[in-house]
Chains A and B, each alone.
Chain A
């Protein structure tokens, strides 16, 4: 599962943060899942329960998942628009799932039709907050 590698990266990054900040243990990690990458939160959380055991100091961390809608800003006309999956073939959704930047190959600005836009939010997976004990 592709989600396994991303979930594993959350545990690895939390361990790195704990080391840098001298945390004895990580109690909670708030992760944001962007709409564009379309990661299934329940599967992601389930995998995390397994992978976190491999990382010292993270093994008892609680995972809090938030989701974020995708937003794009057109670099041609300035229009800000969201993701509309209607009519997108399975292969396109699959490509964006593995490599969110490929959205630029398949999606156009709703106003001017340009494919030159910036993903301003809701791209993929990132850590928003870590709670731990010194």
Chain B
């Protein structure tokens, strides 16, 4: 068996399955977005850009767009902020490798949980009548707080769960990255009598700028798939306070009469945004790797 045949046999099945499935779903989304197809009736016809034009006049779509943008902003900054803060804290206060490992293990647990499970765990704790958090709030004289039923709190409350899962995970990554940094610049700064926080703000964190930006972009793309968490915790409610784009597309495509074409137009939009973000990540990653 020559090299060429081996490479072909190894690559072609995997790549052709992936390419077929990807092509079918993208071509399908474009095709359906140009029709007026619904799940209810078998008949449909070509309507051109009608679905896209209607999106522009759909206030619920713009609400979903706004919620998605807000969700991105809160979860990405929250996750990265928490990760940087905690990793510096652990780096400074925990020196024994054993304890560092214990903390890393504990911090990895939340991200491994299925989103559905994390959602239930926190719904249980947020519950106004029997949740632990409201019990603690009661001890200091607040509450009961309707974390998931109050429109002004619901999005933040769900975002806390996302940050709990990803912020702790990224803390472990940033800590591991800090451990691999060369010691010389840090020791030089210490000789100059720099304060602890100054060393991190001006020496270690700038050295990690590349990986931190990559992590932020990875989280940004990951945050776009928030469906599981929000679906189980609030279902998009109260009202439309937590309805992100993928939730709205799901409601349109499945629940509300199965308006497949309209939902396709929306998911295409999401696809374009994700692809652009992803291409930027890839290019940036190549640049830093070089």
Decide whether A and B are members of one complex.
Answer: no
